[in-house]
Structure 1
């Protein structure tokens, strides 16, 4: 099954996540199909906290991809940002 989930990057104590489309059997930071955005939980100042390509996420969901709980919350947040 294809999942849209977070892949961790960044340094110790400064996490940075890529939102990726991947097969669920792959490791968390392993091979992925497509990178659809990023999430920076420790963004400060002018740094962007969240950026998602909503159109690509919706296209993958239409093809049967499943969102993890955290990514579903981030997609909802990104939708609110675009509406504003």
Structure 2
């Protein structure tokens, strides 16, 4: 099963995250199938590859709770419903 989850980068107290597609049984810093976005918690910046995300979700990938909330803020699920 493929999961869409956060992969932590950055120094101490300066976290940044990459949103990646990865096998569910891999560890957090494991080898990713594909990087589909970027999230900076401190500056509240988000950069998403919407086409890659929609492809993974249509194939059955499950986002984690945090990634799901990021996608909701960006309106990803409305775009998936609009383009069947």
Question: Which range, TM-score by smaller chain?
Answer: 0.7 to 0.9
RMSD: 1.4
Superposed CA deviations along residues 28-55 of structure 1, whole A, max 9, x for unmatched, are 0111000001000011xxxx71111122
Gaps of 5+ in 2: 77-84
| Matched length | 76
Following TM superposition, the consecutive aligned residue runs of length 4 or more in structure 1 with deviations greater than 4 angstroms are none
Q: Could you tell me how far apart the structure 2 residues matched to 1:59 and 1:19 are? A: 14
1:27 corresponds to which residue? 27
Partner of 1:14: 14
